[in-house]
């Protein structure tokens, strides 16, 4: 009997060519760990090219998972285990493997040609020189071909099945059951029994290989989480669920219009899968028609939603101005990526904050929210829809590539835990005026076709209350002030900011926003254990900035703002509060590491 060592947390990276099924096996391991009750955080790394050159550094796809029984808020800085399908995957990721870590390698990915393409000496096998590491050289392709020699499937399918061998071995190594992945394979290949049986055979063979190899095994126990029903969600899935739930809570149908653009494309797929909830999805021919069709849906009485990334957001700006002028509810999701222009489509960045707040022409104020994690994206998306509906305004939801493809456990909320959402539909009014406002500056929402409630709609400036076209200078100024006043009311509804970690006063406050939350939280734990006078506050409600933030900032001698851009929130903080905050930028298409935050704080204090 093999002794099983209990571990609190483990970080694994799966890496190989784009087309090796790296993302698939990473998601399968993640879903299995989620079913077992582990806390987890993941990070996907895609090549920019659809089919990058095989066995080269540029063509490597990676999936990183940090899972355990303790609190997990980041995908981890360094790996305990590196699963590589070829030499290039080892070359690219070896610097981030912990000393003494495990390397599970597909030996057929270390041919002379593969070594040369990866930048190694062709005749020297690097796996044989890693004396300080636990190396498992496995002939994954050889095992797959031998198992499948009598299967009437293509050679390509036999070779790709090697990922199942690697997954089976990892499942054995960390005492994970095969059942969840077996069920998933049966769903995927239910119309192709040959491929189903082939993949099942190789998966089980990888697991059995671990059994007979008598390798040391490990157990990672489930986390001590509050009771409830959980599922593993990515940021894009969480946003979809949050908006769908908001529409149901408001008694509305949801209309989603999008144009395929990385990393927002999956939103269209997720919304399309919820037709049973009354959701209508539309793939538009371009970004402009996507936003204008969503505006049309809101005009008709649905919740209009559109999604995009980076350059697509720039194309939607005229539509944003129109939605703001019409004063109709609209949610715009921007899954940020590296820019400008086409930039880095498969990489993450926080570079659209200033565009979101200041990007429109004219005096346009649009609320901006940004979730801090994949699971929080549900709540923030729900709240974005609530604000859009109840205040008759477009709302921008800023996600990014890290959140969109990263995943973590999310607990299903109970219906009674959800806020009510009350659409301001016109009920009965004898003296109807389309731009007459209530006490918080909101006009009534009137569906077209109601006799007696006909009114003008369009992008030209409106006369106060009547909505008629007006070129009167004083009326224009009045309307600008009224629209701004409506947004100012929203500020009063924002949750007050708080200290997430550390004391309420001290030497240094780290102020973060968006996806940097988990990394900073993990870094703060280390810094507090060292006795550093450092605290952390995080913003999810960014424009207008929430009441009470000024008080928090004034309680610290210095403020550090880490951002995945060249410094954007820092300009807003300096402008609003006259605080000489310290910028900390990273613009490499990848998230901060915990170590980078820790070192920066040590440098400051």
pLDDT of residue 288: 97
Question: Which of 436, 461, 493 delimits the end of a domain?
Answer: 493
In a domain, 225, yes or no: no
For residues 81-106, b (16+ Cβ closer than 10 Å) or e, as one string?
bbbbbbbbbbbbbbebbeeebbbbbb
Of 86, 22, 92, 21, whose CA–CA distance to 54 is shortest?
Answer: 86
Q: Residue 336: inside a domain, yes or no? A: yes
What pTM was estimated for this model as a whole?
0.95
- For residue 226, being part of any structural domain is answered with no
Q: State both tokens at 568.
A: 């954007």
pLDDT at residue 406, rounded to an integer: 96
Residues in a beta bridge with 534: 508
- What is the token pair recorded at 302? 């649905």
The CATH number of whichever domain residue 125 belongs to comes to 3.40.920.10
Could you tell me if 535 and 517 are in contact, meaning their C-beta atoms sit under 8 angstroms apart?
no
- Who contacts 411 (Cβ-Cβ below 8 Å, separation ≥6)? 225, 226, 228, 229, 230, 375
Total structural domains within the chain: 4
Question: What's the pLDDT tens digit per position in 473-500?
Answer: 999 999 999 999 999 999 999 999 999 9
Do residue 318 and residue 439 come from a single domain? no
Q: Does the residue 129 lie in any domain? A: yes
Q: Which pLDDT score, from 0 to 100, does residue 51 have?
A: 74
SS3 506: strand
Residue 53: the pLDDT is 87
Q: According to the model, what pLDDT value does residue 158 have?
A: 87
What burial letters (b/e) apply to 344-382, b meaning 16+ CB within 10 Å?
A: bbbbbbbbbbebbbebbeeebbbbbbbbbbbbbbbbbbb
468 shares its domain with 589: no
Question: Which residue range is the domain that position 454 belongs to?
Answer: 424-493
Q: What secondary structure, in 3-state letters, does 132-146 show?
A: CCEEEEECHHHHHHH
Same structural domain for residues 80 and 118?
Answer: yes
Average pLDDT by consecutive 10-residue portion of the chain (605 residues)?
Answer: 83 95 96 96 88 89 97 96 97 96 96 95 92 94 91 88 95 96 96 94 95 90 91 97 98 97 96 95 97 98 97 96 97 97 94 96 96 98 98 98 96 93 88 92 93 88 94 97 96 94 97 98 98 98 96 97 98 95 97 98 96
Helix 22-35 and helix 179-188, axial crossing angle in degrees, nearest 10: 130
> Is 235 found in the same domain as 197?
no
pLDDT of residue 286: 97
For residues 245 and 338, membership in a common domain is answered with: yes
Where does a domain end: 493, 508, 537? 493
Closest C-alpha among 506, 9, 371 to residue 221: 9
* Domain finish residue from 159, 193, 220: 220
Q: Does 12 lie in the same domain as 53?
A: yes
- 486 with 504, same domain? no
* CATH code where residue 557 lies: 3.40.50.920
Structure confidence at residue 3 (pLDDT):
63
Residues 203 and 307 in one domain: no
- Based on the fold, state whether residues 410 and 430 are members of the same structural domain: no
**446-449 contacts: CB < 8 A, separation 24 or more?**
447/300, 447/301, 448/299, 448/300
CATH number at residue 237: 3.40.50.970
Contacts 24+ apart (CB under 8 A), 470-475: none
Instruction: Give the C-alpha distances (Å, rounded to integers) separating 283 from 237, 301, 335, 500.
Output: 18, 20, 17, 40
Model pLDDT, residue 2: 58
Same domain, yes or no, for 393 and 455?
A: no
In a domain, 340, yes or no: yes
Do 67 and 153 lie in a common domain? yes
Pick from 568, 571, 577: nearest CA to 550 = 577
Neighbours of 528 (CB within 10 A): 16
Question: Which of the 8 DSSP states describes residue 127?
Answer: G
Residue given tokens 């009674």 in the structure block: 416
Enumerate the β-bridge partners of residue 465.
435
> What is the reported pLDDT for 17?
94
Residues 467 and 555 in one domain: no
């Amino acid at each position: 009997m093999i002794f099983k060592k209990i571990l609190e947390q483990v970080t694994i990276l799966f890496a190989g060519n784009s087309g090796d099924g790296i993302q698939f096996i990473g998601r399968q391991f993640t879903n299995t760990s989620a079913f077992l009750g582990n806390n987890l955080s993941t990070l996907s790394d895609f090549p920019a090219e659809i089919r990058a050159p095989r066995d080269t550094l540029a063509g490597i796809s990676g999936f990183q998972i940090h899972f355990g029984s303790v609190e997990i808020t980041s995908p981890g800085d360094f790996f305990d285990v590196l699963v590589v399908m070829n030499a290039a995957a080892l070359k690219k990721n070896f610097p981030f493997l912990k000393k003494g870590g495990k390397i599970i390698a597909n030996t057929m990915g270390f041919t002379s040609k593969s070594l040369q393409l990866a930048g190694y000496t062709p005749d020297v096998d690097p796996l044989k020189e890693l004396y300080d590491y636990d190396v498992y050289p496995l002939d994954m392709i050889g095992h797959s071909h031998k198992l499948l020699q009598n299967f009437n499937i293509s050679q390509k399918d036999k070779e790709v099945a090697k990922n199942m061998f690697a997954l089976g071995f990892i499942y054995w190594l960390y005492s994970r059951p095969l059942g969840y992945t077996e069920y998933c394979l049966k769903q995927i290949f239910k119309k192709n029994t040959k491929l189903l049986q082939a993949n099942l055979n190789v998966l089980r063979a990888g697991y059995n290989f671990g059994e007979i190899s008598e390798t040391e095994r490990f157990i990672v126990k489930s986390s001590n989480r509050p009771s409830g029903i959980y599922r593993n969600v990515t940021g894009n899935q969480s946003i979809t669920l949050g908006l769908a739930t908001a529409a149901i809570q408001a008694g509305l149908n949801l209309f989603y219009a999008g144009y395929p653009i990385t990393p927002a494309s999956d939103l269209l797929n997720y919304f399309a899968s919820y037709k049973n909830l009354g959701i209508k999805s539309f793939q538009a021919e371009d970004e402009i028609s996507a936003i204008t069709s969503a505006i049309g849906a809101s005009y008709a009485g649905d919740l209009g939603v559109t999604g995009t990334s980076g350059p697509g957001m720039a194309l939607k700006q005229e539509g944003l101005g129109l939605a703001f002028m019409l004063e109709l509810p609209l949610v715009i999701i921007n899954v940020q990526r590296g820019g400008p222009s086409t930039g880095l489509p498969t990489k993450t960045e926080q570079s659209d904050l200033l565009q979101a707040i200041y990007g429109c022409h004219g005096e346009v104020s649009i609320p901006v929210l940004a979730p801090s994690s994949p699971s929080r994206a549900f709540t923030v998306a729900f709240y974005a829809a609530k604000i859009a509906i109840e205040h008759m305004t477009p709302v921008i939801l800023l996600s990014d590539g890290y959140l969109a493809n990263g995943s973590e456990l999310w607990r299903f909320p109970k219906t009674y835990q959800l806020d009510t959402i009350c659409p301001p539909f016109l009920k009965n009014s004898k003296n109807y005026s389309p731009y007459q406002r209530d006490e918080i500056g909101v006009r009534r929402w009137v569906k077209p076709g109601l006799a007696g409630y006909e009114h003008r709609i369009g992008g030209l400036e409106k006369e106060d209350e009547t909505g008629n076209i007006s070129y009167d200078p004083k009326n224009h100024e009045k309307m600008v002030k009224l629209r701004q006043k409506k947004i100012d009311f929203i500020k009063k509804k924002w949750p007050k900011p708080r200290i997430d970690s550390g004391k309420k006063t001290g030497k240094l406050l780290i102020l973060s926003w968006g996806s940097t939350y988990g990394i900073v939280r993990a870094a703060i734990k280390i810094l507090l254990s060292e006795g550093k006078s450092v605290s952390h506050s995080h913003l999810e409600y960014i424009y207008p900035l929430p009441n009470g933030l000024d008080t928090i900032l004034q309680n610290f001698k210095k403020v550090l703002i880490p951002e995945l851009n060249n410094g954007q929130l820092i300009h807003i903080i300096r402008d609003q509060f006259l605080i000489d905050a310290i910028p900390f930028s990273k613009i490499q298409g990848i998230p901060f590491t915990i170590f980078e935050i820790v070192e920066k704080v040590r440098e400051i204090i």
